[in-house]
Structures are given as structure tokens and as C-alpha cells.
Amino acid sequence: MSSADTARPTPRRSDFPRDFRWGCSTSSYQIEGAAQEDGRGESIWDRYCATPGRIRDGSSGAVACDHYHRWSGDLDLARALGVGAYRFSVAWPRIFPDGVGERPNQAGLDFYSRLVDGMLERGLEPWATLYHWDLPQALQDRGGWENRATIEAFVDYAEAMARCLGDRVKHWITHNEPWCTAFLGHHEGIHAPGIRDYRRALQVCHHLLVSHGAALPALRGWAPDAQVGITLSLHPIEAASPSAADAAAVHRHDGTRNRWFLDPLYGRGYPADIVERLGADAPVVLAGDFETIAAPTDFLGVNYYFPEVVADAPGAGPIATRVVDRPGVERTAFGWEIAPQGLVTLLDRIRADWHPAAIYITENGSTFDDVVAPDGRVDDPKRLDYLARHLAAAREALAHGVPLKGYFAWSLLDNFEWAEGYVRRFGLIHVDYATQRRTVKASGHWYAGFLKT
Ligand code: IFM
């Protein structure tokens, strides 16, 4: 048992290097709303949400936190928490409503320009993510990420953003969690665009990775002094039992969850054991693709939420593994296991196996059923505890020599949690969606206090 897993550790900011980045993350579709304003085009999430039964509460991001109109107050709140960095994403359909075009939509560029200026005025370092899942529907109509032409469209979009913001944004993330786009969106079908086909998901995944590398020259060209990376959702994978079959299942599962992304990004191509297993389902890879994917980056963004425990499951899906619930462990309201020590395991392993120059935790957070008390306060002891324990885990990883350079809490605000709608609240700040009133939760006050120490 390490300090991260004991009751509630008391990490202090002074335990971390002085230049460690402290921030909060959000994403465009989850907070902005204003889905039809200033020339924004339709995104795949607008279309997906309009299909009955897709979203648990039947909602959409059409209004969300109305951040498009309330961004200034939201940045004030971020500043008041004491974070030094703010990670946001750009809605591609605000920039190219049809996905492509000769000229970007000026009103869309202006919005992000104002937003970035607002951050800089408040001493918040802007961290821009280019793709956090809101693909223009017009591109989906032409095959979406399955169509190789979307890579080129992404590069043009990346260039438009870097031309516009490259003088002020010094940290760029090409993609957020390509695993989710590819496999939740095209295999499990529980995210937009709602396709269920493993082979197609693998091809989508390949195009996402190629587009990441293909966009780097444009970003570096227009923002030469910027740091550029990609954010992955990664998990430590554990065996459900000591059996050899479960150990082999762990290796396969890790092969699709973690190695499938990290190996090509760090110059090794796709893992041979998985390619062999996929056979004819393996993606079409063109000459030069692996060189493109492996273009050097400045940092790796890691989103950590939970470990996965897997068992061998012959016949269950393409890699014959089954995720099982470890009994008797603490969980968030989403059912995700709370395992701060998993963060240490994961970071140690990334350092040992892929040696990134710098790692940022670009998301980490939890959802609980928060309520506003009659006195107007939101007491969320479990989220506070989660945060303190994960910061202690980050401290432990640093002590092991992991090149961890920053931590971004997910999320600044409660927001639209994709297929779960507004049922799940991940914010350090509570949002009353009927009134758009913001209330800093106890966990937010705790984070602010931590940042002041
Ligand atoms: O809300 C999401 C976010 O968009 C991507 N990472 C995980 C979060 C919680 O599910």
C-alpha cells in the first residue's frame, strides 16, 4: 500500500517542481452550446444526439453550459481556482462549417481568439486541443475518419487554427483520446457516429493517428516555439486471476488499449501480435504512414481514470477478452474503479517502455451525484478525496523519475457527458443547467487551497 491509497493524503503544491503546470480541462461540445450561432456547422454529435435513444437523458450539447456566451465569467472562475493553465478544444464545425473550404469562418476564429486573449489577460496559459470528437457532419457524410481524405481536411483545419492562434497558443494537442473516437464511435457504436464494425474502427483509428502526425508540420510552421503532443486515454491492465489464460488476455487487451497507440507514436509500428491476430481486419497502412505517425512530439498527454481488470473470454469479440468488475472496491457514480495507485503504475510503465520526454496528465477526475444544499454549498467529499489521492499518486510517480510536467483536472465545469448526457457531473464547479448558475464545489475550494500552499 502506498501513500496514494491510504485514507486521504495531504499533498502540497510545494511537493512538486516550481514549473509544474496546474490546470483544468474542458472541451468544446461539452460546454459551449450555441450550436447554431455565428455560422457553426452541424457536428456528428448534433446529429447523433438527435436520434432518440442515443443519449441517456435525451439531451444534447445544444446549450450545455452556454460557455460560448459565458466564457468570460468561466475564465474568471478558472483564475479564481488559481490554476495557471486552461485546456480547451476547438469546435471544427465553427471553423469549417462544411469540414473543408477555401477560407475559415471568421466568426469562429474570432471566438477562439477572444477566448485565448481572455486567458492571457487572466494569466492562464492556453492549451488547445484540435479534435475532441466534434467532427463536422459534412465530413461524416463523405465517410468521416474512415475516408482518408479526412486526414487532409484535418491538416487544413490545424493550419487554420495555428495561423490564427499560433502567436499566442504555445501548447497544442492534436487529438483527444483517439481510442474513444475509433472504438466507442465505430465499434461499440455508443458514441457518434454510432457505427458498429471493428474492421472499420481500426481503419478510423489508423487515419486518426496519421492525421496527428500529418498536422505537426503545420503546427510547427505557424507556431514554431510551441510544444505539440497528443492525448491518449490509457489504462493499467490487470488480470482477473493468476491463470496463464488471463495473463495472455492482459497482453492482448493491453495491445489494443495501450500499445496500439504508443507503439506507432514512438516509432515501432503496430504491435505484431495484434496485427497477426487481426488478420484481414488489420487496417490498410500506406507507405510512409508509420513515419508520419512517429513524427517527434514534445510531450505525451495522458488521461487517466481507471485500471481495467480482464479475463480470457474465448469468442467474446475480436480479442477475446472480457472486462470484469473487481469486487469490493471503491467506485465513482459511473462505476469506474477508484485506483490512484494505477496512475503510478501507468506512468512508471510509460516511462520504462516508451520514454516520452515529457508527460502531462491532461485529464483526471471523477463523477458523483452532487447536490446543492439549502445553504447553496456543494459538498463533494468523494471527489475531493479522489483529487487529493491522485495528486499524491502524481507526486509518487515524480519521485520515481517519471518526467511528469503537469496535471489538468477534468473538469472545470459540470458538462455534457456524451452518451450519459447531463446525468454525470465531473466538474470542480457545479452547473445548474436551468439557470446556468455556477457554484464552486468543496473539491474546487480544496484544489484552490492546494494551489495556494
Ligand atoms: O468527459 C470525458 C472527456 O470528454 C474525455 N475524457 C473522459 C471524460 C470523462 O468521461
Which protein residues are within 6 Å of ligand 1, measured from CB?
27, 30, 177, 303, 363, 410, 417, 426
Ligand 1, pocket-test mutation among 129, 303, 368, most atoms within 8 A of CB: 303
Residue-level pLDDT at 19 = 98
Average pLDDT, integer, range 113-132: 99
Residues serving a catalytic function are: 177, 363
Q: Which three cell numbers stand for residue 169?
A: 497558443
Residue 94 carries which side chain, given as an amino acid letter? R
For 425, the domain range is: 3-452
pLDDT average, residue stretch 83-87: 99
Query: Omega into 411 within 30° of 0, i.e. cis?
Result: yes
- Residue 233 CA to ligand 1 center (angstroms) comes to 9
What is the three-class DSSP state of 410?
A: strand
Dist. CA 144–CA 203, nearest whole Å: 11
pLDDT tens string 397-452 = 999 999 999 999 999 999 999 999 999 999 999 999 999 999 999 999 999 999 99
What pLDDT was estimated at residue 171? 99
For residue 5, is pLDDT > 60?
A: no
> Over the stretch 290-302, which tens digit does the pLDDT of each residue have?
999 999 999 999 9
CA 97, CA 40: separation in Å to the nearest integer? 5
Mean of all residue pLDDT scores within the chain: 97
65 contacts 73 by C-beta, under 8 angstroms: no
Substitution site in 30, 417, 423 for ligand 1 pocket (most atoms within 8 Å of beta carbon): 417
pLDDT tens-digit series, residues 414-428 = 999 999 999 999 999
Residue 1 has pLDDT above 50, yes or no: no
Nearest to 170 by CA among 202, 124, 211, 212: 124
Taking only the tens place, the pLDDT of each residue in 155-176 is 999 999 999 999 999 999 999 9
Q: Which atom of ligand 1 is nearest to the CA of 303?
A: 6
pLDDT digits (tens, 9 = 90+) for 230-272: 999 999 999 999 999 999 999 999 999 999 999 999 999 999 9
Strand partners, 337: 331
Asked if 68 contacts 29 with a C-beta cutoff of 8 angstroms, the reply is no
pLDDT, tens digit (0-9, with 9 covering 90-100), for 15-65: 999 999 999 999 999 999 999 999 999 999 999 999 999 999 999 999 999
User: Shortest CA distance to 93 belongs to which of 130, 128, 137, 127?
Assistant: 137
Instruction: Name the pTM for this structure.
Output: 0.98
Torsion of the alpha carbons at 143, 54, 411 and 6, rounded to the nearest 10: -120
Work out whether strand 359-363 and strand 299-303 pair parallel, antiparallel, or are unpaired: parallel
Q: How far apart (Å, rounded) are the C-alpha atoms in residues 319 and 176?
A: 24
Nearest CA to ligand 1 atom 1: 417
AA identity, residue 131: Y
| Domain at 291, CATH number | 3.20.20.80
Inform me whether the pLDDT recorded for 280 exceeds 90.
yes
Tell me: the pLDDT tens digits for 206-226? Answer: 999 999 999 999 999 999 999
Q: What is the number of structural domains in the chain?
A: 1
pLDDT band for 8, please (50, 70, 90 cuts): confident
